[in-house]
Structures are given as structure tokens and as C-alpha cells.
Amino acid sequence: MRNGGEVYIIAISGDTVEFSTTKNGEISKYMVLDDTIEIIKNGQVVSKDFLQEGQRVKVEYESHDDMVGGKLWGCKSITILG
């Protein structure tokens, strides 16, 4: 999941979403949702209220160059699948 991919939402608490690579698995990653992350459903940007526990989603990351020649990674979008 480090580089994104398809995962399951296993818990949502406020702005924090926990993901797992299996539907009933252990937490493999969590993130705090902010206004820079697009939530996409059926090709349309929707609110975070559309996210539900048990959903399969695709998480996409993007990188930006930092001030010392490295890369900073951040979540670009979460696409609701199915």
C-alpha cells in the first residue's frame, strides 16, 4: 500500500480512515483526510461522506520535489470501486 493500490476501508473515525489489503484484515495504513485529497465515485468528485467501512477503494499518491532535492509523497485521491 505504500505506493497506493487497491485496499479496503476497515474503519473510519472522524477524518481518519484505516485501510487493509484484505477485507477483514489488520490495519496496514491510516491517513487523515484533508481538503487536498479527492474522493472519486463514478468519475465524479464527492464528499468524504461517501466513504464507508468495508468498501474497496483505490488509493493514488503523488510526489513533489522538496527543497533539498528529495521527494515528498502525499495522497492524491481515493477512488471508490464498485
What is the count of structural domains for the chain? 1
3-class DSSP assignment, residue 25 = coil
Mean pLDDT of the chain: 90
Whole-model pTM: value is: 0.84
Beta strands 38-41 and 71-80 are parallel
Q: 73 pLDDT exceeds 90? A: no
Q: Which residue has the higher pLDDT, 32 or 28?
A: 32
Q: Give me the residue label for grid cell 500500500.
A: 1
pLDDT of 22: 87
Question: Residue 68 is part of which domain span?
Answer: 5-80
CA nearest to 26, candidates 57, 1, 48: 1
Q: 1 pLDDT exceeds 70? A: no
d(CA 66, CA 22) in angstroms, rounded, equals 33
